[in-house]
Chains A and B, each alone.
Chain A
Amino acid sequence: MELAVDAAQSRHLPGFLERFAARATRMLDAKWGGVMVLRGRETDLYQANSSENPLEPSQHGALVRLAREHRREIEVRLLSTDSALTSLTEHSGAAVVLVPITASDEENLGSVCLLRDRGTLEKNERNLLHALASHAALSLENFRRFSQLERSKRQWVEDIDAISDYIVVHDRSFRIVRTNRSLASHLGVPPVALVGEAMSSLRQIGETGSELPCPFCRDTQQAREEYVVASPERIFLVSTSRTPGVSDDDTRTIHVLKDMTDRREAERRYRELFDSIQEGLFFATPDGRFLDVNDAMVRMLGYGSRDELLRADVGPHLYPVPAARERFLRALSERGVLRNYEETLRRKDGTLLHTLQNITAVRDANGKIVQIRGLMLDVTEQRTFQSQLQRERDFNQKILNTTQSMILVLDTAGLISYANRRCFESGYREDELIGHRLVDWVEASHRTDFEAALETTAHGHQVENLELRVRRSDTSMGHFSISLSPMRDEQNLVNSVVVVMTDITDAVLLQAKLAHSEKMASIGRLVSGVAHEVNNPLAAILGFTDLLLENPAIPENAREDLQIILHETQRTKDIVQDLLSFARQRPVQRELVHVNNVLRQTIKLRSYDFASHGVEVSEDFDENLAPALGDAQQLQQVFLNILNNAYDAVQDAGQRGHIVIHTGRSEQNIEVAITDNGTGVPDTERIFDPFYTTKQAAKGTGLGLSICYGIVRAHGGEILCRNNEDGPGSTFIVRVPIATEAATTAAIAKEAGR
């Protein structure tokens, strides 16, 4: 501890010590006297009459050195002649008397120092010195205490002034006793200026609505008060303490005004952010209770208010699958932080909410999770959209996969970039489609058409029902209906072409058949009408020719002419008869016909001709063939006609003729295929048209196959012709329905009843 002497008080202390030194010098009859006070490493020296006898520096130094020597008792030291101090006495045998000044706690405070002419000390002198030293110690201690008190009081004021909070102390009559510097500078006055003023003068700091003379007092009976006062500009937290005293004078009320404006502002901003943010924010306990949530969170979960959400034990309701909550807690416990954690929650009304959460666990010192903080995004819409998209995609995929059309996507260069499942089901391999040009599959003669269509589509136009022949995976050619649609990118530019291809070969054949049968029917109607109209004049011509020939008056040469008329009329009659045979749907005999037998009989009719002309006929019969229902005579006419044609065709071909007759069952029909290796048929479509013939004029009327057509149709069957793909010649196919069981039974009964 040191005796720090305040600069402000030092002028009182030196005076006292100088007077003290003078008094001691006088009382003890010393030549020189002084008091030396230790102040840390410094030593202050106070002497009597210092202005009259200033010490030389060497004397000062010597005295200080002596004073700093520690001693407990009074010491008398004789001065040597060379001592700097000898000049102070002007007497040989002088001595210095050093009396320690010791504080009550034994601290060495300094020394009283006297120079005397003699080196002895009387007992009473010694007692006096003790008394002086005690007095000096007491005085120094008192002074030190006073100075400490003073200093601490000043420090206190400084400390209070250093506090930025406003502090004001008033007495019971609401007069200001003290304010700190912050408050005074807020009002623009020195602190002392406010002392004695009424507290009401501080109303300008903040309007509190208080009825009392002090704006900051609310209830003067309370020892302590704390509340927030908000003025338009500032917000204060007012803490009030009251010290009750025995009199009005010592009753103090202390107001500390803490300016909360900034803190409140920060809090307000935080809250505003917390509530205005569109993402849900929450603080929750690990057991599923919300501690705080923002408005977005309340809205997301469909609750009426924040309080409702905070009140309810929403944990169990929130998780539609309780296991999901456990999984969440486990994951959080393991990782501490969960990023983009997907969770499906349940709103208050039970609807599902898809969320994306970022969660942080707050742990205590033991690592136990004490709080869960998180941010939650409502991704229901995206999720719904996504699942809708997925559903749509699945749906489209299903359509693509189940459609009976082949769907391909071509890039602008015409290369296949996608092919649906149907393509592969049709036998095409992925490696021969993807990355290849579709046009290469198109029949050579149709490629320019296809490329033109592709070009059209690339310009943004649709091409529909383009009918092209396309090579199938088994290398056969199929008839396809092809539609091309442009597909556009975001910039509305055509970036690919969707090609829908449907194999319509069967449909085309069916349509051709239909068209053909329709044509034949209309020819039939026409022919029937013509034949009937021709028959009347023909009847007259033939009749009158007969009558003329019966007339004996007709000369011989005219008779010859009449014979020609008669002959040609007969020929005309035959043609008309054939036409009518083709046209009429003659009611066929309904009896069981064994087609194999009919064919054998027919072959027998021509076997001589065939054998003699080197035409070989092979039978390839299905011996278990069911019977047909019809007219054996008419069917024989059909087969004979076809055989005759085949015979003529192989004769014309000029090579060894070979005719194969095949019978078999084809679905509900009996199928007869008669194949020759002859010249083939130039136009298989028109072969059944009346008067269509490939033969020389004399060889036939051109109605033979037309009649066959009529007969087969009347049997409910069909007849068609095609050129052989694997060699020369042609094949005629006749199909007639197999007799149904009921028809067979009826026919057998009828035969039996005959």
Chain B
Amino acid sequence: MTLQSEFRAPSPILLIEDEPSVTAFLRAALERRGYAVVDASSGAEGLEKLDGGKYSGVISDIRMPGSVNGAEVHAWIQENRPELCTRIILITGDTANSDTQALLAQSGTPCIEKPFRVQQLLTIVERTFGKP
């Protein structure tokens, strides 16, 4: 990557997802559309990266193993990166969970339910983060 391109390129999207196959698919789909992607395989790693870098948006799975889940990532951003508050997309495999439902209802954060079509993803990403 050149300095110029670095300069021109907007900040990457931070992708927090514990499932490697899903991460791979999301990265492929987003990069193909022109987005830069930085990924983290857990909530804790995601927070580390958020703390140490600049991102144009965050896509996070809700249910993840480990000490930090999607809801906590969402809460951290609200606390520490208010500018990113409206630039979060949550992914869930389980909308039945009442905590998830509460989070979605309260924040109005867009959410994509697994499994989803590429087009569904890109529509929401473009609407939330803007075109690359």
In the assembled complex, which residues on chain A have CB atoms less than 8 Å from the CB atom of B14? none
Which of A540, A550, A569 is close to B25, meaning CB atoms less than 8 Å apart?
A540
In the assembled complex, which residues on chain A have CB atoms less than 8 Å from the CB atom of B119? 546
Which of A539, A541, A542, A585 is close to B93, meaning CB atoms less than 8 Å apart?
A539
Q: Which residue of A lies closest to B101 (CB)?
A: A587
A569-B118 CB under 8 A given contacts A536-B93, A583-B96: no
**Interface hit among B37-45, B67-75, B82-90, B109-117:** B109-117
A539:B118 contact, CB within 8 angstroms: no
Q: How far is the CA of A536 from the CA of B63 in the complex (A)?
A: 11
**Interface hit among A262-270, A527-535, A596-604:** A527-535
**Interface hit among B4-12, B16-24, B50-58:** B16-24
A550:B118 contact, CB within 8 angstroms: yes
Say if the beta carbon of A722 comes within 8 Å of chain B: no
B115:A538 contact, CB within 8 angstroms: yes
Say if the beta carbon of B126 comes within 8 Å of chain A: no
A543-B26 CB under 8 A given contacts A532-B63, A550-B118: yes
A584:B118 contact, CB within 8 angstroms: no
Q: How far is the CA of A336 from the CA of B2 in the complex (A)?
A: 143
A540:B21 contact, CB within 8 angstroms: yes
Q: Which residue of A lies closest to B63 (CB)?
A: A532
B22:A539 contact, CB within 8 angstroms: yes
B94:A547 contact, CB within 8 angstroms: no
In the assembled complex, which residues on chain A have CB atoms less than 8 Å from the CB atom of B96? 528, 580, 583-586
Say if the beta carbon of B124 comes within 8 Å of chain A: no
In the assembled complex, which residues on chain B have CB atoms less than 8 Å from the CB atom of A541? 115
Say if the beta carbon of B29 comes within 8 Å of chain A: yes
In the assembled complex, which residues on chain A have CB atoms less than 8 Å from the CB atom of B114? 535-536, 538-539
Q: How far is the CA of A538 from the CA of B117 in the complex (A)?
A: 11
Q: How many residues of A contact B (CB 8 A)?
A: 25
Distance in Å: Cβ of A43 to nearest Cβ of chain B: 161
In the assembled complex, which residues on chain A have CB atoms less than 8 Å from the CB atom of B25? 539-540, 543-544, 547
Question: CB-defined interface of A493-532 with B at 8 Å, one 1/0 digit per residue?
Answer: 0000000000000000000000000000000000010011
In the assembled complex, which residues on chain B have CB atoms less than 8 Å from the CB atom of A533? 93
In the assembled complex, which residues on chain A have CB atoms less than 8 Å from the CB atom of B63? 532
A573:B118 contact, CB within 8 angstroms: no
In the assembled complex, which residues on chain A have CB atoms less than 8 Å from the CB atom of B26? 543
B101:A543 contact, CB within 8 angstroms: no
Distance in Å: Cβ of B41 to nearest Cβ of chain A: 13
In the assembled complex, which residues on chain A have CB atoms less than 8 Å from the CB atom of B32? 547, 550
B94:A539 contact, CB within 8 angstroms: no
Say if the beta carbon of A727 comes within 8 Å of chain B: no
A535:B115 contact, CB within 8 angstroms: yes
Q: Which residue of A lies closest to B25 (CB)?
A: A543
Distance in Å: Cβ of A527 to nearest Cβ of chain B: 10
Q: Which residue of A lies closest to B17 (CB)?
A: A536
A528:B94 contact, CB within 8 angstroms: yes
Q: How many A-B residue pairs have CB under 8 A?
A: 71
B94:A542 contact, CB within 8 angstroms: no
Say if the beta carbon of A40 comes within 8 Å of chain B: no
In the assembled complex, which residues on chain B have CB atoms less than 8 Å from the CB atom of A573? 115
In the assembled complex, which residues on chain B have CB atoms less than 8 Å from the CB atom of A540? 19, 21-22, 24-25
B117:A536 contact, CB within 8 angstroms: no
Say if the beta carbon of A537 comes within 8 Å of chain B: yes
B115:A539 contact, CB within 8 angstroms: yes
Distance in Å: Cβ of A575 to nearest Cβ of chain B: 12
Q: How far is the CA of A533 from the CA of B22 in the complex (A)?
A: 12
Q: How far is the CA of A539 from the CA of B116 in the complex (A)?
A: 6
Of the listed residues B26, B93, B95, the one surrounded by the most CB atoms of chain A closer than 10 A to its CB is B93
Of the listed residues B19, B115, B121, the one surrounded by the most CB atoms of chain A closer than 10 A to its CB is B115
Q: Which residue of B lies closest to A543 (CB)?
A: B25
Distance in Å: Cβ of A491 to nearest Cβ of chain B: 70
A542:B19 contact, CB within 8 angstroms: no
Which of B24, B98, B117 is close to A542, meaning CB atoms less than 8 Å apart?
B117
A535-B118 CB under 8 A given contacts A540-B25, A543-B26: no
B94:A543 contact, CB within 8 angstroms: no
Q: How far is the CA of A536 from the CA of B94 in the complex (A)?
A: 10
Distance in Å: Cβ of B128 to nearest Cβ of chain A: 18
In the assembled complex, which residues on chain A have CB atoms less than 8 Å from the CB atom of B117? 542-543, 546
Q: How far is the CA of A573 from the CA of B22 in the complex (A)?
A: 16
Q: How far is the CA of A535 from the CA of B32 in the complex (A)?
A: 23
Which of B93, B95, B98, B115 is close to A543, meaning CB atoms less than 8 Å apart?
B115
A547:B28 contact, CB within 8 angstroms: yes
Q: Which residue of B lies closest to A550 (CB)?
A: B118
A580-B94 CB under 8 A given contacts A537-B21, A540-B25: yes
A558-604 at interface with B (beta carbon < 8 Å): 569, 573, 580, 583-587
In the assembled complex, which residues on chain B have CB atoms less than 8 Å from the CB atom of A547? 25, 28-29, 32, 118
In the assembled complex, which residues on chain A have CB atoms less than 8 Å from the CB atom of B93? 531-533, 535-536, 539
Q: Which residue of B lies closest to A587 (CB)?
A: B101
In the assembled complex, which residues on chain A have CB atoms less than 8 Å from the CB atom of B19? 536, 539-540
Distance in Å: Cβ of A541 to nearest Cβ of chain B: 7
Q: How far is the CA of A537 from the CA of B116 in the complex (A)?
A: 11
In the assembled complex, which residues on chain A have CB atoms less than 8 Å from the CB atom of B101? 587
Q: Which residue of B lies closest to A536 (CB)?
A: B19
Q: Which residue of A lies closest to B112 (CB)?
A: A539
Q: How far is the CA of A619 from the CA of B22 in the complex (A)?
A: 52
Q: How far is the CA of A586 from the CA of B101 in the complex (A)?
A: 10
Q: Which residue of A lies closest to B113 (CB)?
A: A535
Q: How far is the CA of A708 from the CA of B119 in the complex (A)?
A: 32
Q: How far is the CA of A531 from the CA of B96 in the complex (A)?
A: 11
Q: How far is the CA of A546 from the CA of B33 in the complex (A)?
A: 13
Question: CB-defined interface of A85-103 with B at 8 Å, one 1/0 digit per residue?
Answer: 0000000000000000000
Q: Which residue of B lies closest to A566 (CB)?
A: B117
Q: How far is the CA of A528 from the CA of B92 in the complex (A)?
A: 13
Which of A542, A580, A583 is close to B115, meaning CB atoms less than 8 Å apart?
A542
Q: Give 9 A-B pairs besides A539-B114, A543-B118, A580-B94 with Cβ atoms closer than 8 angstroms.
A: A535-B93, A536-B22, A539-B19, A540-B25, A543-B26, A543-B29, A544-B28, A546-B119, A584-B96
* A–B pairs, 27, beta carbons within 8 Å: A531-B94, A532-B94, A533-B93, A535-B94, A536-B19, A536-B21, A536-B22, A536-B114, A538-B115, A539-B25, A539-B116, A540-B24, A542-B115, A542-B116, A543-B22, A543-B25, A543-B26, A543-B115, A543-B117, A543-B121, A546-B29, A547-B25, A550-B118, A569-B115, A573-B115, A580-B94, A584-B96
Chain B residues proximal to chain A, CB less than 8 Å = 19, 21-22, 24-26, 28-29, 32, 63, 93-96, 98, 101, 114-119, 121
Q: Which 4 A-B pairs have the closest CB atoms?
A: A584-B96, A535-B93, A543-B25, A540-B21
Chain A residues proximal to chain B, CB less than 8 Å = 528, 531-533, 535-544, 546-547, 550, 569, 573, 580, 583-587
